[in-house]
């Protein structure tokens, strides 16, 4: 398989180079896709010049997708796989490069929001209302961001508007929506500019019975049922503001509060579910400062405070409470020279977990220093390097990570960039791992990994401009923390597991304006995932050299978006291949195909613009699950009316 993919890599590289070479330089300039600047790598790097594969989900795509929360957006990305326990807002976790959610770093404006409690984040807690764009960075980033950044990094960029370049002094947007399962949604966004100050406030509310239809197989027949104990109500409130003292000094303030009260239906066994309920209250605050001393010297700093509460009840048996407090501070200095950039920074984080399920000493002081460089001594070759050291007070251990990368453009007149990076990454044990009552293991070590990535991106013209991208990623993970049963019948985490991932990703995209009225956008991705456990947890362990559970061996994502004058028609197709639901690969889950779509119309009267959008999810009425025992909804609808003044 590796030989076939390698042949495909070099054959594609040759063919693309040949096709590109046939085009003149002027033609390439005419049809070349717009360059996009990314910030997740710390350097404001041109998208094509990065040593990592980076996928951008921009505001246009976000508006085109179905759904109202982060998982629906990311589910259209071919780079990641979303594990869903039912309809939103039930638990949604992410898998990147064949690893778990605890190995994917989630950032908001460059600030980590992964929980110190379990290393993960429930993606359904994040609304899309305040998202400007999303940067999806492939491969490890621990040498810049520290723990969790093994499989990849997701950086969520929020809606900040520069008052110097924002012509709208005042803007109000309201929306109302109704859909299947007695779902209703209301939202209001307010934006105001006052000289050099800009403020954006948003609020949204949603409630639903959540009683979607699905098929339950009782062993002999498939029975159509309604999901029970799945109702919810939620709201989100947030503020984004910017204050520019002048062109060289600015302060950003971001604050969001999310509340969710939802019933948890649990695994489907054919019997009525237990009365389980979960409440989440998440408050996240970020203050960031930037001072430009000169073109060569820039100082940045951010302050973050998080207060996240969760109550989980299984009446009348369980009543678990969790309070996660995080406070962090991270200054960094950027120095720019003619052919060399350097960023160095320090970060401090204090985290504390108070819960009736963990020991009372669940707290951590984390200090880190990093340095990152970028060099372009040659016009066609860019070199990158970074190193970081983290210290954890509760572990009394240090973690040293490093990474080097390059981006090479071999031909001046051909739109072709080759990239590669290699480094080591880590994940620190979580509070649950260390301090769970009667089961935690305070002697755990950080997990570690060796990562390698290579690939290329090329733009060709075949009647219309086409962007092609190929990526290969190898991750060898060691000392992975695995919960295993002990003689006392309790499960305890141990540094015992290891895995190897060899993943291949091919993307083809088109964004073409045919005339003044018609614009076509097409995205496609093929992801071949090969992640296997490589160790024996005990002598004769049958799970050795078997695929990790709940990861598709192949996944295909297609998106077709057509704009015609004031109307828009969008379709999104997902193929999820064969998966296994156990570590021994005895139980497999069938592949499935999902087609979603929407149609929208825009109208404008005087200063009021309105949009009517009809979303249809699971158009073909497919019966499927991503996690065994957790059914997904059959065909369902949602209608939204938005008014913008």
pLDDT value, residue 487: 72
454 vs 606 pLDDT, higher one: 454
361 vs 525 pLDDT, higher one: 525
pLDDT value, residue 246: 84
Question: What are the pLDDT digits (tens) for 180-214?
Answer: 999 999 999 999 988 889 999 999 999 999 999 99
SS (H, E, C) 460-492: EEECEEEEEEEEEEEEEEEEEEEEEECCCCCEE
Q: Of 207, 56, 250, nearest to 136 (Cα)? A: 56
Q: ∠561-567-568 over CA atoms, to 5°?
A: 15
b/e burial code for range 234-266 (CB count within 10 A of at least 16 → b): bbbbbbbbbbbeeeeebebbbebbbbbbbbbbb
pLDDT classification of 37: cutoffs 50, 70, 90: low
pLDDT value, residue 443: 95
Percent of the chain with pLDDT over 70: 93
Q: For residue 365, say if its preceding peptide bond is cis, omega within 30 degrees of 0.
A: no
Q: 23 Cβ partners below 8 Å, 6+ apart?
A: 31, 460, 461
Rg, C-alpha atoms of the chain? 24
pLDDT value, residue 2: 42
pLDDT value, residue 162: 56
Answer whether residue 161 shows pLDDT above 80: no
Q: What is the mean pLDDT of residues 135-148?
A: 96
Phi, psi of 95 (to 5 degrees): -125, 130
Question: What are the pLDDT digits (tens) for 465-514?
Answer: 999 999 999 999 999 999 988 877 789 999 999 999 999 999 999 999 99
pLDDT value, residue 394: 95
pLDDT value, residue 39: 75
> What is the residue-averaged pLDDT of the chain?
91
Distance CA(75)–CA(595), nearest Å, equals: 12
pLDDT classification of 38: cutoffs 50, 70, 90: low
Phi, psi of 27 (to 5 degrees): -65, -40
Answer whether residue 259 shows pLDDT above 50: yes
pLDDT value, residue 167: 56
Q: What is the CATH number of the domain that holds 191?
A: 2.40.170.20
DSSP 3-state percent helix, strand, coil across the chain (nearest 5): 10, 60, 30
Question: What are the pLDDT digits (tens) for 590-627?
Answer: 999 999 999 999 998 888 999 999 999 999 999 999 99
Q: What is the mean pLDDT of residues 220-241?
A: 94
**Local structure of 8: helix, strand or coil:** helix
Answer whether residue 26 shows pLDDT above 50: no
pLDDT value, residue 247: 83
pTM for the whole thing? Answer: 0.92
**Local structure of 21: helix, strand or coil:** helix
Answer whether residue 15 shows pLDDT above 50: no
pLDDT value, residue 390: 98
Phi, psi of 284 (to 5 degrees): -125, 130
6 vs 585 pLDDT, higher one: 585
| Least confident stretch, 6-20, 289-303, 440-454 | 6-20
Distance CA(373)–CA(131), nearest Å, equals: 29
Answer whether residue 8 shows pLDDT above 50: no
| Least confident stretch, 39-43, 105-109, 424-428 | 39-43
Percent of the chain with pLDDT over 90: 80
Q: Tell me if 453 sits within 8 A of 473, measured CB to CB.
A: yes
Question: What are the pLDDT digits (tens) for 78-93?
Answer: 999 999 999 989 999 9
Q: What is the mean pLDDT of residues 241-265?
A: 94
Q: Of 342, 400, 349, nearest to 143 (Cα)? A: 400
Q: Tell me if 430 sits within 8 A of 412, measured CB to CB.
A: no
pLDDT value, residue 43: 80
Answer whether residue 25 shows pLDDT above 50: no
**Local structure of 598: helix, strand or coil:** strand
Distance CA(577)–CA(589), nearest Å, equals: 9
b/e burial code for range 141-151 (CB count within 10 A of at least 16 → b): bbbbbbbbbbb
Question: What are the pLDDT digits (tens) for 386-399?
Answer: 999 999 999 999 99
Number of domains the chain is built from: 1
Structural domain span for residue 576: 2-644
Answer whether residue 432 shows pLDDT above 90: yes
Which residues lie across from 465 on neighbouring strands? 461
pLDDT value, residue 166: 53
């Amino acid at each position: 398989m590796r030989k076939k993919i390698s042949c495909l890599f070099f054959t594609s590289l040759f063919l693309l180079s040949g096709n590109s070479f046939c085009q003149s330089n002027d033609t390439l300039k005419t049809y070349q896709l717009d360059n996009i600047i990314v910030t997740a790598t710390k350097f404001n790097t041109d998208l094509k010049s990065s040593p990592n594969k980076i996928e951008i989900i921009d505001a246009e795509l976000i508006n085109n997708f179905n759904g109202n929360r982060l998982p629906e957006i990311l589910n259209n990305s071919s780079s990641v796989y979303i594990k869903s326990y039912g309809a939103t807002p039930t638990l949604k976790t992410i898998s990147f490069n064949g690893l778990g959610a605890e190995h994917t770093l989630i950032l908001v404006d460059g600030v980590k929001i992964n929980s110190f409690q379990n290393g993960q984040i429930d993606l359904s807690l994040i609304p899309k209302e305040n998202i400007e764009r999303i940067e999806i960075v492939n491969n490890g980033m621990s040498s810049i961001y520290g723990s969790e950044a093994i499989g990849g990094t997701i950086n969520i960029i929020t809606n900040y508007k520069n008052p110097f370049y924002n012509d709208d002094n005042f803007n109000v947007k309201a929306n109302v929506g109704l859909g299947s399962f007695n779902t209703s949604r209301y939202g209001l966004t307010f934006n105001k500019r006052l000289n050099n100050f800009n403020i954006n406030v948003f609020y949204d509310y949603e409630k639903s019975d959540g009683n979607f239809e699905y098929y339950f197989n009782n062993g002999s027949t498939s029975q159509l049922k309604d999901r029970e104990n799945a109702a919810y109500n939620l709201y989100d409130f947030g503020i984004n503001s910017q204050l520019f003292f002048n062109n060289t000094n600015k302060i950003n303030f971001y604050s969001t509060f999310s509340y969710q009260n939802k019933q948890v239906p649990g695994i489907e066994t054919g019997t009525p579910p237990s009365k389980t309920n979960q409440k989440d209250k998440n408050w996240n605050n970020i203050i960031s400062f930037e001072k430009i001393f000169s073109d060569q010297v820039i100082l940045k700093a951010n302050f973050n405070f998080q207060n996240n509460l969760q109550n989980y009840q299984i009446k009348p048996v369980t009543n678990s409470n969790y309070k996660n407090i995080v406070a962090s501070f991270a200054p960094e200095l950027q120095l720019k020279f003619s052919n060399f950039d350097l960023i160095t920074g320090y970060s401090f984080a204090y985290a504390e977990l108070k819960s009736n399920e963990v020991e009372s000493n669940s707290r951590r002081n984390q200090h880190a220093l990093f340095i990152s460089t970028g060099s372009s001594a040659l016009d066609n070759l860019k070199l990158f390097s970074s190193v970081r050291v983290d210290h954890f007070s509760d572990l009394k251990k240090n973690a040293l990570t490093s990474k080097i990368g390059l981006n090479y453009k071999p031909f001046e007149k051909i739109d072709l960039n080759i990239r590669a990076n290699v480094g080591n990454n880590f994940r620190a044990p979580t509070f649950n791992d260390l301090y769970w009552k009667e089961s935690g293991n305070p002697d755990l070590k950080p997990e570690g990994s060796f990562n390698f990535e290579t690939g290329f991106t090329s733009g060709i013209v075949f009647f219309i401009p086409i962007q092609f991208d190929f990526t290969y990623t190898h991750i060898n993970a060691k000392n992975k923390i695995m919960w295993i049963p002990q003689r006392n019948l309790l499960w305890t985490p141990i540094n015992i597991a290891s895995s190897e991932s060899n993943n291949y990703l091919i993307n083809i995209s088109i964004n073409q304006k045919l005339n003044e009225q018609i614009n076509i956008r097409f995205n496609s991705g093929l992801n071949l995932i090969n992640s296997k456990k490589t160790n024996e947890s005990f002598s004769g362990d049958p799970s050795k050299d078997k695929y990790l559970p709940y990861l598709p061996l192949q996944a295909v994502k297609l998106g077709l978006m057509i704009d015609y004058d004031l109307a828009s028609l969008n379709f999104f197709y997902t193929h999820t291949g064969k998966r296994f639901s156990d570590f021994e690969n005895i139980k497999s889950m069938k592949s499935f195909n999902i087609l979603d779509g929407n149609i929208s119309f825009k109208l404008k009267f005087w200063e009021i613009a309105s949009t009517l959008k009809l979303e249809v999810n699971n158009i073909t009425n497919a019966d499927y699950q991503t996690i065994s025992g957790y059914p997904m909804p059959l065909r369902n609808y949602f209608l939204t009316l938005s008014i913008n003044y």
